[in-house]
Amino acid sequence: MVTVVASRPVTPGYNTQQQQQQQQVPASYDFQYGVRDDYSGNNFGQQESREGLTTQGAYYINLPDGRILKVSYRVTPQSGYVAKVTYEGEAQYL
């Protein structure tokens, strides 16, 4: 049997008021990465940004049939995760 216990670490000098103030600061970030290696054929990446409670981004990857799969998404508390999937190029079968 496995028992999992979750607890909040106790840090001296760190009170509940400080924790509440930090939680009220809206999240804000922006990042992206990409990999392209012509030798192996790898080509993929992602971009995402968040301002407050809204997150939006996109990622892409090469598919084995030669097309590129792209997913653009937006996440809000009202609508949840909404994605749009598109394909670029034409499938090449051997």
Model confidence, pTM: 0.68
Q: Where residue 93 falls among pLDDT bands split at 50, 70, 90?
A: confident
pLDDT at 6 over 80: no
Angstrom distance (rounded) from CA 94 to CA 92: 7
Higher pLDDT, 22 or 67: 67
Count Cα atoms within 13 angstroms, Cβ side, for 75: 12
Q: Domain ranges in the chain?
A: 24-88
